[in-house]
Amino acid sequence: MRVPTRTRYGIRAMVDIAIHRTEEPIHVNLLARRLEISKNYLENLMLILKRNGLVTSSRGPKGGYSLTRHPADIRLPEIFVALEGSETLFYCVDCPDDCPHSNHCASRDLLKSLGEAMISTLSSITLEKMTEWQIIKMEQET
One-character DSSP codes across 37-85: --HHHHHHHHHHHHHTTSEEEE-STT-EEEESS-GGG-BHHHHHHHHHS
For 88, counting Cβ atoms within 10 Å of its Cβ (0-12 exposed, 13-18 middle, 19+ buried), the class is: middle
pLDDT one-digit tens code per residue, 43-57: 999 999 999 999 999
- Report the pLDDT averaged over residues 6-13: 95
pLDDT one-digit tens code per residue, 57-98: 998 888 899 999 999 999 999 999 899 886 566 666 666 666
Taking the model in full, what pTM does it have?
0.84
Report whether 20 contacts 139 (CB < 8 A): no
Coil, strand, or helix at residue 26?
Answer: strand
